[in-house]
Amino acid sequence: MKNNDISPPPRSLRTHIYEIIFESDTAAGRNFDVALFLFIIISIVVVLFESVETYRIEYQVFFRTVEWILTIIFLIEYILRLYSVRKPLHYALSFYGIIDLLAILPSFLAFFVAAGQSLIVIRALRLLRVFRIFKLGSFMAQGNVIMESINQSKGKIAVFLYFIVILVLIIGSMMYVIEGGRNESFDSIPTSIYWAIVTLTTVGYGDITPSTNIGKFMSAVVMILGYAVIAVPTGIVSASMINQSRKVNGQACPHCGKEGHDNDASFCKHCGGGL
């Protein structure tokens, strides 16, 4: 039995509940996950429909009933999680612990804030937990490869964003100087920066467009710049994904058991033993 931080208490009712709620290798555990998945989906669908005015007026009572039933179910589940886990505080402060709590709060919040129950959609984050019900074994591994690649290129992407922010500040101000006064859309620097981001990311809503000739010329330069700029994050992620896929192909070293060797390696890079 592994003994990690969120490990089960000695065999008992608590252990049993733990196995059902936190794990998915028993039949009950799997059924629990599937049920949870369905409850989350129903919960989200209800919120989506409730936000549409025609449905809200007609089915208000029905929507609210379903919402409260599901909120109570999730509340009970949360309490059971706190009860069954060995270190409740540790769980409560973990990533999933916080999400589990956030998923319950919006229903109560709705008493005070108008559009409060819209935040119920935060339950979508819980879908990350029941990911495992899709039996695809490699599904999880694939997700890890993506995560690892993004993680690896985190630093480069942060630097890239730092440059983008500086770039967008300067382009925005220049366009404000050029278009401001002549074009009502560019009425302040923040708006111009918003325009610069819309343009540089190639989203291009068209709610703010240059009207002067020099403004159009500047825009064209920004767009072509955006061309080169969009290549950078793609290049970063591609490069780290290729490195990643190279490592994934590797085999375990027969001497030290470590993985992650290149395809053309003849010796283990960790212990120097032959592969």
Q: Which of residues 207-236 bind a second copy (CB under 8 A)?
A: 207, 209, 213, 216-217, 219-220, 223-224, 226-228, 230-236
Least CB distance to a second copy at residue 35 (A): 19
Q: How far is the CB of 153 from a second copy (least distance, A)?
A: 9
| Per CB under 8 A, 261 contacts a second copy | yes
Strands (E), 170-237: none
Give the C-alpha separation, 177 to 186, whole Å: 9
CB 184 within 8 A of CB 174: no
Which residues in 128-147 contact a second copy (CB under 8 A)?
128, 131, 136, 138-139, 142-143, 145-146
Measured from the CB of residue 36, what is the shortest distance to a second copy in angstroms?
15
Question: Nearest Cα to 208, choosing from 217, 221, 219?
Answer: 219
Residue 237 lies near a second copy (rule: CB under 8 A): yes
Separation of alpha carbons 1 and 168, rounded Å: 54
**What distance in Å separates the CA atoms of residue 110 and residue 116, rounded to the nearest whole number?**
4
Asked whether position 268 contacts a second copy by CB under 8 A, the answer is yes
Report whether 56 contacts 40 (CB < 8 A). no
What CA–CA distance (Å, rounded) separates 150 from 100? Answer: 25
Is there binding between residue 203 and a second copy (CB under 8 A)?
A: yes
Rank residues 16 and 216 by Cβ distance to a second copy and give the closer one.
Answer: 216
Q: Which of 199, 201, 134, 131 is nearest to 161 (CA)?
A: 201
DSSP for 104-122 reads: THHHHHTTTSTTGGGGGGG
By CB under 8 A, name the one of 6, 92, 124, 133 that touches a second copy: 124
Window 70-99: contact mask with a second copy (x via CB under 8 A) = ------------------------------
- For a second copy, give the closer residue by CB, 15 or 118: 118
Q: How far is the CB of 234 from a second copy (least distance, A)?
A: 4
Sole binder of a second copy in the list 48, 67, 82, 105 (CB under 8 A):
48
